[in-house]
C-alpha cells in the first residue's frame, strides 16, 4: 500500500510537474498569442490604436509631408526633436494663418510697424527727469575732468563758494554749464574746461625749437611723440639756449602768450665775463639800439660773481630772435651760456634738463589770467 501510494504520488507529482511545465510553456506561448490576438482584437473592435515604436514614428507633419515620410529632404519638423514633433500652425479666425514660429511673428509685426510709421516725423518725448530741461554738463563733472579732483572734491569746492560761472559765485550743487561758452573760475583763476593739455619742458642745449626737423636733429617733438593730441610750442628758444619752453594744444592761449600786446615777461640767466660797469643795468633798461630797433629790459641784476665770471638775470617782455644775446653783445658782454628760468608765472624750479612735466591747474589759471583769458 505504501509503495503503491508512493508511486501514485510520484506519478501525480510528475504529472503535475509536467502539467506545470506544460502550463508554463503554454503560458509563454499564450503571451505571444495574446499580443497578436490583442492587437487584432483592438483593430477589429476599434479599441486603442497600435503604438509605433520610436524608430517608426514620423515627425514630418509639415506641408508636403505624407504618411510615408516628408515630400523631400529631412523636413523642417524633423529638427524639432520633441515627442510628437513641433506644433502645426493652426488656423485662426477671419481666415488668417498663425505664423509657424515667434521669429516669423516678430518679423511680420516689425514690418507692419514700419509701414504704419513710414514718413512720420520723430516725436520728441518731454524730458521728465529733474534738471533735464537744462543743457550742458554738471559743474562738478567739468571741474573733475579739468583735474580738480574727484566729483566729491569738486562739490566741496562749490560748497566753499570758491567756484564762479561768468563772474557769479555758484552756491548750489548740480549747476550746469556749457564748456564752449561759459567761463568757469576756481579761486579767481580760469579753468580749462576743454580737453586742453599744457606742459613745461626744460629744453637742453642742442635741441631745435621745432616739432619736426627735416635734417633729423633732435627737436621738441621727440619729447611728446607718445601724446594722442598734437601739441605745439609757445615761442622759441635758440638751439644753444636752455630752459623753460611751453607746449600746448590751446591755440588762443599760445597766441596771446607770444603777442607783444600782452607783454608776458620772460626771465633769463646769462653767463658773461666781466668786469661789468655799474650802469649796465640802466643801459639795458633805457634801451639798446639793435639793427631791428630798440630793445629794452624790464629788470636786471647780478646774481653771482666768481672772479671775472658773472651770472646776471635779465627780464624782458619782448620775444625777438636772439634778443638777450644781441642786447648783451651790443653792450660789450657776449653771452657764454643762456638759460630761460621763467615764462610768465611758470618757473623752472628744480626741473631737470630734458624733463617734461604737466602744468597744474593753478599754473594754467595763472597763465590765462596773464593774457586775460
| Strand, coil or helix: 152 | helix
CA-to-CA distance for 135 and 122, rounded, in angstroms? 21
Q: Are 173 and 166 in contact (CB under 8 A)?
A: no
CA-to-CA distance for 150 and 242, rounded, in angstroms? 37
First to last CA, the chain: 142
Catalytic residue among 68, 122, 222, 238: 238
For CA atoms 131, 132, 134, 138, give the dihedral sign. Answer: positive
**C-alpha cell, 10:** 510520484
What lies within 8 Å, CB to CB, of 344 at 6+ separation is 257, 264, 265, 266, 366, 367, 370
Alpha-carbon radius of gyration of the chain = 49
| Strand, coil or helix: 313 | strand
238 assigned to active site: yes
Backbone torsions φ then ψ of 371, nearest 5 degrees: -115, 20
**C-alpha cell, 168:** 557769479
**C-alpha cell, 315:** 627780464
CA-to-CA distance for 74 and 348, rounded, in angstroms? 82
Q: Are 346 and 368 in contact (CB under 8 A)?
A: no
Backbone torsions φ then ψ of 227, nearest 5 degrees: -90, 140
Residue in the structure block whose three cell numbers are 628760468: 341
For CA atoms 202, 247, 179, 145, give the dihedral sign. Answer: negative
The residues assigned a catalytic role are 238
Amino acid at each position: 500500500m505504501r509503495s503503491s501510494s508512493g508511486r501514485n504520488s510520484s506519478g501525480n507529482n510528475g504529472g503535475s510537474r509536467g502539467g506545470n511545465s506544460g502550463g508554463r510553456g503554454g503560458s509563454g506561448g499564450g503571451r505571444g498569442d495574446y499580443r497578436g490576438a490583442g492587437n487584432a482584437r483592438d483593430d477589429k473592435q476599434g479599441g486603442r490604436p497600435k503604438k509605433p515604436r520610436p524608430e517608426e514614428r514620423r515627425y514630418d507633419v509639415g506641408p508636403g509631408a505624407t504618411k510615408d515620410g516628408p515630400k523631400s529632404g529631412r523636413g523642417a519638423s524633423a529638427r524639432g526633436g520633441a515627442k510628437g514633433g513641433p506644433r502645426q500652425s493652426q488656423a485662426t479666425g477671419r481666415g488668417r494663418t498663425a505664423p509657424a514660429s515667434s521669429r516669423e511673428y516678430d518679423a511680420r509685426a516689425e514690418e507692419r510697424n514700419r509701414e504704419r510709421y513710414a514718413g512720420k516725423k520723430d516725436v520728441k518725448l518731454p524730458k521728465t527727469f529733474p534738471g533735464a530741461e537744462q543743457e550742458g554738463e554738471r559743474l562738478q563733472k567739468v571741474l573733475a575732468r579739468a583735474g580738480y579732483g574727484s566729483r566729491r572734491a569738486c562739490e566741496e569746492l562749490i560748497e566753499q563758494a570758491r567756484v564762479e560761472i561768468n563772474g557769479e559765485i555758484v552756491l548750489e550743487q548740480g549747476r550746469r554749464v556749457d564748456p564752449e561758452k561759459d567761463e568757469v573760475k576756481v579761486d579767481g583763476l580760469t579753468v580749462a574746461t576743454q580737453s586742453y593739455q599744457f606742459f613745461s619742458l626744460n629744453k637742453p642745449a642742442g635741441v631745435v625749437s621745432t616739432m619736426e626737423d627735416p635734417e633729423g636733429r633732435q627737436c621738441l617733438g621727440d619729447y611728446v611723440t607718445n601724446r594722442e593730441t598734437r601739441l605745439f610750442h609757445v615761442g622759441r628758444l635758440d638751439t644753444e639756449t636752455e630752459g623753460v619752453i611751453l607746449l600746448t594744444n590751446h591755440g588762443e592761449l599760445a597766441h596771446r602768450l607770444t603777442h607783444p600786446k600782452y607783454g608776458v615777461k620772460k626771465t633769463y640767466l646769462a653767463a658773461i665775463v666781466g668786469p661789468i660797469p655799474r650802469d649796465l643795468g640802466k643801459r639795458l633798461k633805457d634801451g639798446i639800439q639793435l639793427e631791428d630797433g630798440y630793445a629794452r629790459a624790464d629788470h636786471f641784476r647780478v646774481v653771482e660773481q666768481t672772479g671775472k665770471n658773472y651770472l646776471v638775470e635779465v627780464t624782458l617782455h619782448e620775444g625777438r630772435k636772439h634778443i638777450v644775446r644781441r642786447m648783451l653783445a651790443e653792450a660789450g658782454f657776449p653771452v657764454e651760456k643762456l638759460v630761460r628760468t621763467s615764462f610768465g608765472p611758470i618757473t623752472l624750479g628744480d626741473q631737470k634738463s630734458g624733463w617734461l612735466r604737466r602744468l597744474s591747474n593753478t599754473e594754467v589759471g595763472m597763465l590765462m589770467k596773464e593774457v586775460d583769458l
